[in-house]
Amino acid sequence: MNAPASVRIDKWLWAIRLFKTRGLATEACRHGRVTVGGQAVKPSRDVKISDLIVAKTGDITRTVKVLALLEHRVGAQMVREYAEDLTPASEYEKPRERFLQPLFSRPKGAGRPTKKDRRQMDKLF
């Protein structure tokens, strides 16, 4: 399979599975959530080998280095040949932090909850 001479950034982001659809990759570029070298890019910008791409996908800000160009979507195992993931491990922990924090807390030794406290706790559920 011959490597293409140039590829649009939205197509490349979709092909390496950073976004689920090409439309989502295009929208992320239009809204400034994809940057190359600190500059927001348009979806039609061409990707170059060794570009450092920072893309915000949901709660995670992913950092990817371009190793090779491709136009068609590849399997998850083959992505390593085309992109190097430089995202820090702390970014992958962000979505989990929301579930690990308690919904409410009471200081130890405060005694039983009052009627007002119980009403506030019931609002959470």
Mean pLDDT of 2-20: 90
Q: Which one-letter DSSP state was computed for residue 60? A: E
The ranges assigned to domains in the chain are 9-96
The confidence score (pLDDT) of residue 1 equals: 57
> Which superfamily is assigned to 9-96 in CATH?
RNA-binding S4 domain (3.10.290.10)
User: Which of these ranges, 30-39, 42-51, 112-121, has the smallest mean pLDDT?
Assistant: 112-121
Q: pLDDT of 75-119, one tens digit each? A: 999 999 999 999 998 888 887 777 776 667 778 888 888 899 889
pTM of the model: 0.75
Q: Average pLDDT over the chain, rounded to whole?
A: 89
CA–CA distance, 123 with 62 (Å, rounded to integer)? 36
